[in-house]
Structure 1
Amino acid sequence: MALNFYSFAKGVVSGILKPLYRVEIIGTEHFPKEGGVLLCSNHISNLDPPIVGITAPRPIHFMAKEELFRVPILKSLLPSLHAFPVKRGMSDRQALRTGLEVLKQGNVLGIFPEGTRSRDGKLKKGLSGVGFFALRTDAQVVPCAIIGPYRPLKRLKVVYGSPIPMDELRERKASPEEATDYIMNHIQALLDEHR
């Protein structure tokens, strides 16, 4: 039932946002067709989650800030869209456990490593929770770049990069902070290449 609602919602939102922002999707051929995927994107607008949700080839389980689950209509809607709450700062153990479970079950976990929107569009430092997920699972890590502006009828690009090679960092037990910086560098490279 949840998957049916997700597909229905994706179709409705896609029909509105894709023509409104003339969304151009690049690189979906890089997206793994199966297995756990940690999808890491820059964050420039409140519309980023639906934009990534309608452009990614597979359903995404998003970490969403806890405050959204206190809004009456969203409280019942968000779980149907595979979202789960996280307390600000990414030190929320329950959210970390849920995220690990999503990946171990072979699903896609969507994260905005910056933790909050970038006001000037420049990529900010990522939070270490992202590196934690990348190191603690064998999920493939896919970088994503959203390149604005979010203005009606101005082209918006969503770029999916090739999975980031994580084996070397996993083998030498790199720190979550180092893994996060490594992932952020790949997102920055996509932004630089496609701007």
Structure 2
Amino acid sequence: MGLYHFARSVCAAIFYPKYKIKVEGKENIPANGPLIVCSNHISNMDPVVVGITMKRDVYFMAKEELFKNKFLGGLLRRVHAFPVKRGMKDRQALRRALDVLNDNETLGLFPEGTRSKDGKLGKGLAGAGFFALRSEASVVPCAIIGTYKSKEPLRVVYGAPIEMKDLRERKASSQEVTDVIMKEIQFLLDENQ
């Protein structure tokens, strides 16, 4: 068992009972092929929650600052995270993300780019749309509902893959595609709260 699978097992054993995690819509996650999972972002723990509730390995971008510490950076790389420079075009991170999709793996994205301060869904950045347009990946919306403090269960809801064919054929802009993705995440939030 590699470090990723070991870490996922350990985190699942801790997180599921601690946050009473309930997962819905796992049947919406394609078993193979390139996949982009786009979720709202309410906590630093969201990548762990998405990682343990998916039946596939998930690769995440993480802010470059986290990789400055050699130990932490090495650990993050071994659990499928890779650095991204925030606030600028980072060609290396873009290439790495596209490589993940070209290898038929799963890319986890938080299109808002940062955690929500008030729990409400913010505007999505164009990056999610960029990856959706530059690949043949299925795009699955995800909503993390609840708080990490409440006695209520934390719910993770995966929606049906978003129909991308028309958007790709008519060469929609990256921002337009991101807006469609965000609309689907908001729909999951509205339907399940």
TM class, shorter-chain normalised? over 0.9
Aligned partner of residue 7 in structure 1, secondary structure: helix
| Counterpart code for 1:89 | G
Aligned-residue offset at 1:22: 0.2
Identify the residue that residue 118 of structure 2 maps to in structure 1. Answer: 120
Identify the residue that residue 47 of structure 1 maps to in structure 2. Answer: 45
CA contact (8 A) 1:31 1:142 kept: yes
Comparing 166-175 with 90-99, greater Cα deviation is found at: 90-99
Measured in 1, the distance between the counterparts of 2:108 and 2:88 equals: 14
1:22-49: CA deviations, max 9, x gaps?
0000100110000000110000000001
1:27-46 matched pairs, under 5 angstroms: 27-46=25-44
Identify the residue that residue 133 of structure 2 maps to in structure 1. Answer: 135
Comparing 162-171 with 70-79, greater Cα deviation is found at: 70-79
- Of 150, 160, 173, 1:162 maps to 160
Identify the residue that residue 182 of structure 1 maps to in structure 2. Answer: 180
Measured in 1, the distance between the counterparts of 2:152 and 2:182 equals: 26
| Counterpart code for 2:98 | L
1:3-24: CA deviations, max 9, x gaps?
6211110010111111000000
| Counterpart code for 2:3 | F
Aligned partner of residue 159 in structure 1, secondary structure: strand
Measured in 2, the distance between the counterparts of 1:153 and 1:12 equals: 22
Identify the residue that residue 19 of structure 1 maps to in structure 2. Answer: 17
Identify the residue that residue 100 of structure 2 maps to in structure 1. Answer: 102
Measured in 1, the distance between the counterparts of 2:50 and 2:88 equals: 20
Q: Which runs of 4+ in 1 moved over 3 A?
A: none
1:128-183: CA deviations, max 9, x gaps?
01100000111000100001211164310001111000000000000001000010
Measured in 2, the distance between the counterparts of 1:152 and 1:82 equals: 29
Identify the residue that residue 88 of structure 1 maps to in structure 2. Answer: 86
Q: Which runs of 5+ in 2 are unaligned?
A: none
Q: Are 2:59 and 1:57 equivalent residues in the alignment?
A: no
Measured in 1, the distance between the counterparts of 2:75 and 2:102 equals: 24
Task: Return the TM-score normalized by structure 2.
Answer: 0.97
Measured in 2, the distance between the counterparts of 1:91 and 1:181 equals: 20
Measured in 1, the distance between the counterparts of 2:165 and 2:89 equals: 25
Task: Return the TM-score normalized by structure 1.
Answer: 0.96
Aligned partner of residue 46 in structure 1, secondary structure: coil
Measured in 1, the distance between the counterparts of 2:30 and 2:129 equals: 19
| Counterpart code for 2:40 | N
User: How large is the RMSD of aligned CA atoms in angstroms?
Assistant: 1.1
Measured in 2, the distance between the counterparts of 1:90 and 1:183 equals: 22
Identity of aligned residues (%): 59
